[in-house]
Structure 1
Amino acid sequence: MTDRPSTEDFLRLADPMRRELLAHCYRMTGSVHDAEDLVQETYLRAWRAYDGFEGRSSLRTWLYRIATTVCLTALESRGRRPLPTGLGAPSTEATAPLVERPEVPWLEPVPDGMVGAGADDPAAIVTSRESIRLALIAALQHLPPRQRAILVLRDVLRWRAAEVAEALETTTAAVNSGLQRARAQLNEVSPSLDDPTPPLPHDQREQLDAYVAAFESYDVAALVKLFTRDAVWEMPPFIGWYQGPEEIGRLISVNCPAEHAGDLRLVPVAANGQPAFAVYFRQGDIYTAFSLMVLTLAAEGIRHVAMFFDVGLFEAFGLPSTRPVEERASTTN
């Protein structure tokens, strides 16, 4: 009987997979904070069971099996994490009172760097970014947990049906049936998910610069011109969502606390493989954390903004809670 491997040996072999396992747990849960906890639980379980690992599969496959089981167990006692558009209500009038639901476990964005979408390998970057797009993560929340696991293991990780069946302790026929139902449900709630997300061309980078300039100068009219005709704006924990440039403009005019140029500061970050900004609001001599917004771009303009008011997310993105007023944000990402 071989000696139990040391913690150092186990971590040396398993640690390089931590970011991809975090991405897997994030796809399953829709929460960066839950994903971090579940990866920790995965490594703890794997360490405890490592002396029984016989090498019949790769260490990566074995860790994914454990992570999937950990996620499914956690999801038994947790509800789905929606965005406001996923609650089933129609779009809201911009002048209607804001209704906040802080008790809802809302979907959370994830920093690219935490899940490998900021890696050096271009192919890995494309794969990671496509599989953590905010629209995909939101759509996955509509699936029952086991269907979610089947779809992620088959369509994202490209496992064979037999491998998924073994991991989930079910039959290949059940996996194929579950995958078919999951794909149909995903297409129903978000039929545009198959559209690839291309690298930002030069004109869209200019569009982002214009977006930052309009926000920081509090030029609502300039902002309105940047949205597509069917653009959607949503901002958990508020349950309303708003469609169309004019409605979005009215919403900002009525409810944004900014009053003058310089009241807001946008700092570029990368979330869910998409352009994103940390928004700071000026209070006296400092800017304080206000929100994180994730943008979805189309050829004709900005088609979706998810503005997350959970300032606890700033820590996950490695961002300070305050910034000096004189500090200028970089315009490159």
Structure 2
Amino acid sequence: MTVATADDAFLAQIEPLRRELTAHCYRMVGSVHEAEDLVQETYLRAWRARDQFEERSSLRTWLYRIATNTCLTALRGAQRRPLPTGVGGPSPDARATLATDTDMPWLEPLPDTVVWSNAAPDPAEDVVTRDSVRLAFVAALQYLTAQQRAVVLLCDVLKWRAREAADALEVSVAAVNSSLQRARAQLAKVDAADVERLDNADDRVRDLLSRYVAAFESYDVTGIVALLTEDVVWEMPPFTSWFVGADAVRGLVEDQCPASAPGDMRMVPTSANGLPVLAVYERDEDGVHRAFQLQQLTVTAGGVSHVTCYFDTSLFAKFGLASELPPVP
């Protein structure tokens, strides 16, 4: 086999792992932008070290080891990526001026198409992967140290033994077990309400989303509020202000939303972190609907219980979404 042929074979082996490595890096850093860059760096490091791969472990395990340490290097001195609900208490007045922090590196959504554009070969593996990138879990990971994140992902998500994780991180088994104990205690505090969410395939979700889109696009504030739970949580990074309760959301939409009439907003459905997402386009003065925000919804049997609105319009490209919509025929 020639060197060129061997190199091609190596690339062919590692490329199918890109999606799961992207999910792994995303769980570590909380950003789809950074995750894709870190996977690229992982592949570059693997390429440079390909002659050192001794096949004492699988190629997949070797790449995860490189990816994890690449993320740990990137996280040195980096700020955690929270959501507004993780920064402070809810704001008491939805009609007051909204506080914002554009310097904070906020948690980003992970488009489902990045990881699941093709059907998973093993349904059981697919379930584990979806659970491991759910938004509440990734948000909770942000409260752990970088090493704790790595340990819990290697041991609890990838199901590595403590010795394997210790070897990958070049620490003792005792250090791994200690980090794992602290991490599990912190993650146990993840809001239990997340388990009440309905699966996207549930007919009730599709029906509610259809009515939600119709209410937003017709600027029917009463209709929007009727689809929310009484204790709904609404947050909007980079705004640090967040709100609890359907009444608060009514005030927010009536006073803070730039829409004022039917047709001002249009929505395009997509998904991220296993949750439904609605890409919102706002009508500008020239009549063109341009990218405005992404609304990520948690839907329960009682209605929409949580809405996270992302105002970073650079995320639209990550979802494969257009920056503006064509006129309605």
Scaled to the shorter chain, the TM-score interval is over 0.9
Q: Which residue of 2 aligns with 1:48?
A: 48
Contact 1:110/1:271 (<8 A) preserved: yes
Pairwise CA distance, 1:203:
2.0
Q: Which residue of 2 aligns with 1:183?
A: 184
Task: Give 3-state SS (helix, strand or coil) of 2:49's partner.
Answer: helix
Q: Which residue of 1 aligns with 2:205?
A: 204
Q: In structure 1, what is the Cα distance between the partners aligned to 2:320 and 2:66?
A: 28
Output one character per residue of 1:157-191: Cα deviation in whole Å (capped at 9) or x when no partner.
11111111111112222212211110111122534
Q: TM-score scaled to structure 2, two decimals?
A: 0.94
Pairwise CA distance, 1:123:
3.2
Q: In structure 2, what is the Cα distance between the partners aligned to 1:235 and 1:58?
A: 42
The partner residue of 1:322 within 321, 324, 327 is: 324
Pairwise CA distance, 1:193:
5.4
Q: In structure 1, what is the Cα distance between the partners aligned to 2:8 and 2:113?
A: 24
Output one character per residue of 1:262-303: Cα deviation in whole Å (capped at 9) or x when no partner.
110110011111111111011233210001111111111111
Pairwise CA distance, 1:79:
0.5
AA partner of residue 85 (structure 2): T
Output one character per residue of 1:229-262: Cα deviation in whole Å (capped at 9) or x when no partner.
2110000011110101110111011000001111
Change (3 A) 1:214 1:194: closer
Contact 1:226/1:301 (<8 A) preserved: yes
Pairwise CA distance, 1:153:
1.1
Output one character per residue of 1:103-162: Cα deviation in whole Å (capped at 9) or x when no partner.
110111111111237534443432222111111111110111100111111111111111
AA partner of residue 101 (structure 1): D
Change (3 A) 1:61 1:319: same
AA partner of residue 271 (structure 2): A
Q: Which residue of 2 aligns with 1:213?
A: 214
Pairwise CA distance, 1:51:
0.3
Pairwise CA distance, 1:15:
0.2
Q: Which residue of 1 aligns with 2:245?
A: 244
Contact 1:118/1:125 (<8 A) preserved: no
Greater CA drift, 243-252 or 282-291: 282-291
Q: In structure 1, what is the Cα distance between the partners aligned to 2:193 and 2:12?
A: 40
Q: Which residue of 2 aligns with 1:311?
A: 313
Q: In structure 2, what is the Cα distance between the partners aligned to 1:175 and 1:226?
A: 45
Q: In structure 2, what is the Cα distance between the partners aligned to 1:87 and 1:5?
A: 52
* Paired residues for 1:13-52 under 5 Å: 13-52=13-52
Contact 2:197/2:298 (<8 A) preserved: no
Task: Give 3-state SS (helix, strand or coil) of 2:189's partner.
Answer: helix
Give the ranges of 4+ consecutive aligned residues of structure 1 lying more than 6 Å apart after TM superposition: none
Pairwise CA distance, 1:309:
0.2
Contact 1:154/1:164 (<8 A) preserved: yes
Greater CA drift, 192-201 or 173-182: 192-201
Task: Give 3-state SS (helix, strand or coil) of 2:116's partner.
Answer: coil
Output one character per residue of 1:42-77: Cα deviation in whole Å (capped at 9) or x when no partner.
000000001010000000000000000000000003
AA partner of residue 214 (structure 1): A
Contact 2:26/2:32 (<8 A) preserved: yes
Greater CA drift, 200-209 or 254-263: 200-209
AA partner of residue 103 (structure 2): E
Q: Which residue of 1 aligns with 2:294?
A: 292
AA partner of residue 104 (structure 1): M
Q: Which residue of 2 aligns with 1:100?
A: 100
Q: TM-score scaled to structure 1, two decimals?
A: 0.93
Q: Which residue of 2 aligns with 1:72?
A: 72
Q: How many residues matched? A: 326
Contact 1:5/1:51 (<8 A) preserved: no
Q: Which residue of 2 aligns with 1:86?
A: 86
* Paired residues for 1:115-194 under 5 Å: 115-116=115-116, 119-121=119-121, 122-192=123-193
Task: Give 3-state SS (helix, strand or coil) of 1:285's partner.
Answer: coil
Greater CA drift, 86-95 or 304-313: 86-95
Question: In angstroms, what is the RMSD of aligned CA positions?
Answer: 1.9
AA partner of residue 233 (structure 1): W
Task: Give 3-state SS (helix, strand or coil) of 2:239's partner.
Answer: coil
AA partner of residue 304 (structure 1): H
Q: In structure 1, what is the Cα distance between the partners aligned to 2:198 and 2:65?
A: 29
Q: Which residue of 2 aligns with 1:275?
A: 276
Task: Give 3-state SS (helix, strand or coil) of 1:99's partner.
Answer: coil
Q: In structure 2, what is the Cα distance between the partners aligned to 1:3 and 1:322?
A: 47
Q: Which residue of 2 aligns with 1:330?
A: none
Q: In structure 2, what is the Cα distance between the partners aligned to 1:246 and 1:318?
A: 34
AA partner of residue 131 (structure 2): E
